[in-house]
Every structure is written in structure tokens, then in C-alpha cells.
Amino acid sequence: MLAPLMPGPLAAQALPPVAASAAAAASASLPAVQLQGHYEAAPGQGDAASAGTVTQRLIAHRPVQRPAEVLEFVPGLVVTQHSGDGKANQYFLRGFNLDHGTDFATFIDGMPVNAVSHAHGQGYTDLNFLIPELVRRIDYRKGPYAAEDGDFASAGSARIVLLDRLERGFASSTLGEDGYRRLLLADSFEGPGGHWLAAAEGFMSDGPWTVPQRLRKSSLLLRHRGGTPGLGWRLGLMHYNNRWTATDQIPARAVADGRLGRFDSLDPFSGGRTERFSLNAGLDGETADGDWQASAYWIRSRLNLWSNFTYALDFPTAGDQFEQAERRQTLGGEARRNWAFTAGGRAQRLSLGGQIRHDRLDPVGLYRTVERRRLATTTESELDQTIGGLHAELATSWSPRFRSVLGLRHDRAQFEVARSSVAENTGRAGDHQTSPKLALIWGPWTDWADSELFLNAGRGFHSNDARGTVARLDPVSGDPVERVPGLVASRGAEIGWRGQPLAGQQTALVLWTLKLDSELVYIGDAGNTEALGASRRRGLELNHHGRLDGWTILGTPGRDWLIDLDLAWSRARFEAAPAGADRVPGAANRVASFGLGWAPEGGPWQVQFQLRHIGPRDLTEDGRQRSASTTLASMRLGWQAHRNLRLGLDVFNLFDRRASDIDYFYTSRLPGEPAEGVADRHFHPVEPRSLRLTATLSWD
């Protein structure tokens, strides 16, 4: 993220001390700002009203049911699940059903999480290896407006930064219903070469499902930070292993007529196993006129995923279970140089950088299975995919109340399928794209609620699956298919306002639009690419965060109370589709979240209430099939019983609502039903009310 020209908390984090001083000197005439609330997005900071930074304090206060739900701290983003807790989650943002991550780029300490040419789906974002307690901050953006953002960032991006050190070591034990058990140990210490942080997590849960999910997960983390006054370095190691039985969506008709219960399963052998190992390293240095950073990573991962969504439609006797499997290695890195200077009497900041990533999959495949035993190969490939990008950004402060950010990015991708079980589906392909970016910022006007006005525009893209760029034949039917482009362009714009009309609170209002040239996606469940056509989305967002200063609530001062309110409305339509058949399936037209917390400084108690709403979604292009809305509440109660002991109680689905985490409409067949199957709504229920009790013992 390009550091702001104004001095403040974000600038201090983004630049080493020498470079930060240079930037501050270049913009000494600009007003200083103060941090408000749980979000580091104060007046004079950031390049868009829809961008910001979530602090560790907010993350620590809010109950999180699954690791990936840390992304729900991004205003307007919703995380659900349709297959238990081992598989990557389902994400919704800005009128997108992002599936498992396409069009929203996620990074952890500079390492990309989105998987290209994935066995299950393009952009697959599995965050189950993340330990939420070790997240330092989340830098988020929405829209394709930043030159640093490349693949998958059309709807936005989130960069999750982990802690380098802990104030105190701790051991945390959590017990919950349905076999929920979690143990976390973490400590940091001075050691050879600098500071070290180590953590280990063990987790198991059966869930409320009739067929227990038998999830067994372990995570390890080791981090090192060291350096000299002008040069710093960091090293990181992460390992994650998980095994589970899936709880996929079930047909509504079978629940309605009593053949199934809401928490039943139709294939007790669905599930998966996955493993991930990563190494990453980084350097950052200071110069007289700025700073530089460089990093590299290596990720090795494996996945075997067994699913059955249509039950007995294609193979009435053996069943429709299939396996998606891959073995992957990912190598990559990035480098960036920043200059802060004055030219023509105006503060300037120039950033030049580059990123490269190479993925090798050997193999990646789709197989017919029965009870997890392979019967036949639908498609199996060995492939390589490389994408590299160069980016530049120039920020100029034209006056104390007007600045601009000009950005340019160029990406080139190469795809090679060296081997395929369908001989015709091999070959090489390439694609490239140049993406201009622009941000204009007026303000802050300190005499009018510290207000700022933002205008942003830019071009982005997502990559397609390598197999679709060279395919000639459908692996199932054998029919000819058209090859797809390697990179699919998006174009977005927004106008936003941000200010502090109330003391200690910040409000942002954003009107946005985004056009995708094509929603081509690789369908891992079928082994081919589906063309969904060009689409356009537009929407309105309202965010309000901060302390209730000046109020008195339940006899306590408002400064002890924190409020978070996020509202988002959107409309998603296919552009070339006929009238009445232009709805984008799965797109949520409204999303809302509300949080109210009480956390007095120095007090032993903490209470947080959280409400999340996702509106109805069109399940078919004609809009005749729609899901119901889902509204869920959660609560956290914390008590500092002793300096070294903290107790916490989390309650999820506080009001025990019967709702769906996800809904789809498609054709499936149960035994005894017509051979052509039955078109029906299929859903995955939210879990019933559940309690988790956590005891945390800390030490110096």
C-alpha cells in the first residue's frame, strides 16, 4: 500500500523511521491527524473512502467462529460455509458471490492465499491455517484502484499482517459443544539474531451434524525479526494439516417431506484432507530519501477433496461422488522502492515495484469415486502458471486540501499444460494487460467534520484456469470447447466521502460501479470452463465506526462503548443477457453488520455484541428462485479474573435462528426419483446456538 503523504499512524507503520521523517518533512504544511476507533483511517490518510486498516484491538474484541471470518472485519464482506470447517469458505462482497475467493485477493505477510488453476475452483482461498490471535492488522481495499493490487483484486484485497512479538506469552484452552476442543500455545523471546515468536495450535470438532465432521487440525508457526538501524529482516515458517468429513448442502425437498433432517448428510464419505507448508523471508531498508522492501516465499500444499452434490443423477448405482486433488508448489516474491521528495514546491511520493509468482501443479485432477476410492479419471493434468507484474504510483500533494495518486500496472501471464489425460487439452498460452489507476482526494476540511472527498477509478483483472486457456475438448462429453483468455479485465470507479460528524466517530459513504468483461470460471466439479458473460455491478456503502464520546449508556461513560455499523446495497446484472434473464446467481443485494462493545480502559470486563445480515440472493438468472435472508447474532463476554488469567465466553447464533449459510438451485436426484432428476433449492444450514468457553493463562 502506498503510504500517505500526511504524517500519522499509517505512515509510521508503512515507513521505517528515516523514510518516515523524509515524508513528514516533505509534507510538513499538511495537518496532523489522530487515530479514532478501531480503524486506522483517520482524516488525511488513505487514498479511498473504502480503504482502511483494522487494528489488533478490534480483532481481539469480536467473536470469530471460523478463522476466515477475520475477513468480515472488511466492511461489507460476509464469510459463510457450505461444507463444514475443513474446506475454504464462501465469500460475498460488492454484489459478488466470490465462491471460494475469485475476485478478492488475500495475502498473509505478503504471501498470496488465492490459488490459481485450483482443483476445486479458481482463486480458492483457504484460510483455515490462520491463527486469529496472531493477526496484528488487516489492510483492506475495495475496488481495482491501487497499482500494487494485481490478480484477483477486482472486488478488493486484504493484506493480513501477523505479529512479530507478543507482549506476554500465553496458553489458551477452549471447550465447546459437539466435541469442540482447541488448544493454543504462543510465546515470543529474544534469541539468536533478534526476536522470535512461536505458536502451536491443536483443534478438533464434530459439529452438530448427524454424521460427525471429525475435524482434526494442527497448525505451527515460527517467526523471526531482526536487523540493524538501517536494515531489517524477517523470516517465517508455517505448517498446517487438516482432516475432516464434509457436511455438504442437501436438497430442501428431502427436508420438507421428512426424508432428511436439517443436519443430515447424503454421503458420509464426503470430506477432505489438506496440508500446507510455507517459508517466507523479507528485507526492508532505509535511505536518505525513502525506503525499500523485498520479500520471497515458497509454499507447498496438497489437497484431496471428496464431494457429492447431485447424489445419484449421473451414476444411479455407484453414486455421483467425485474427488478433486492436487499437489502444488508456489514460488514468488516482490520488491518495491519508495521515494519521498519535494518537486516544484509540492510534496511527492513515488513508488516502483514488481511481483512474480510461479505455480506448478503435478498433478491436478478430477476423478470419479465411491467411498473415496477412485473408479475413473475424468481429467488429470500437469501444469505450470507464471504471472509477473510491474507497478508504479506517484502521489502528489497539490495543496493542503488536494492530492492525487496516479498508478500504472502491467501484468504478463504464461500458461502451460504439459500433460493431460485428454491429449488434445495440452499446450501453451499467454496473455497480458496494462491497468491504469487514479485517485483524487480533496480535504481534509477540519472546519467541517474533518471531511474528505475521494474519486477513484481503475482497471483490474483476474486470471483464468490454465486448463481453460489451452482446452479443445470437454473432458466429460468430448465436445469441442472454445479456449478462454488468460486474463479477464475489470473496470471500476467510485466516489466516496469520509468524515467525523460526531466526536470520536467516523462515517464513510461510497457510491461505486464495477464492470467485468467476462465471468468465465473454471468449474472444478465438472472439469471444464463455463462462460457466464460480461456483467456490471453497482452499489452504495455506508460505514460508521468509533467511540460514543459524550454519551452516557447504562450509567457508564460513552468513551467505554464502541460502535461498528456497516451497510451495503448492490445490484448485479449480466450485460448481454435478455431482459428477465440477466440476474447474477448468488449475488447478495444487501449486507449489514452491527457491533456494539463495552470495554472500559483498565476494567476487568468486556462485552461485545455482533449482528450480521445477508439479504436474499437470486439463485437463477430469471430471478424466479431466490434464497431467504440470513440474520445471525453473536456475543462475547470477557473477564480478566487475574493479571495472568482471562476467561471468555463466546455465544454463536445467539437467538438460535434456523437459516441457511448458503443456497443453490440446481438439479439432483435421490434414489427413487425420476432419472432426469429434480430441480430444487439446496442449502447448508447455519449451526444452531453454540457456546465456547476459553481460559487464557499468560506470563511475562
The cell for 329 is 508448489
CA distance 655 to 630: 12
Q: List, for the chain, all residue ranges whose pLDDT scores fall below the cut of 70.
A: 1-44, 520-531
Confidence (pLDDT) at 224: 97
CA atoms within 13 A on the CB side of 210: 13
Confidence (pLDDT) at 557: 84
User: Residue 191 burial by CB count (10 A; 0-12/13-18/19+): exposed, middle or buried?
Assistant: exposed
* CATH code reported for the domain at 9-699: 2.40.170.20
The cell for 323 is 474427488
What does pTM read for this prediction? 0.92
* Dihedral, CA of residue 34, residue 40, residue 46 and residue 50, to nearest 10: -130
User: Per-domain residue ranges for the chain?
Assistant: 9-699
104-135 core/surface letters (b: 16 or more CB in 10 A; e: else): bbbbbbbbbbbbbbbbbbbbbbbbbbbbbbbb
Q: Is 560 helix (H, G, I), strand (E, B) or coil?
A: helix
Confidence (pLDDT) at 115: 97
CB 17 within 8 A of CB 230: no
Q: Quick: pLDDT tens for 604-625.
A: 999 999 999 999 999 999 999 9
Indicate if the alpha-carbon torsion angle 513, 516, 519, 522 is positive or negative: negative
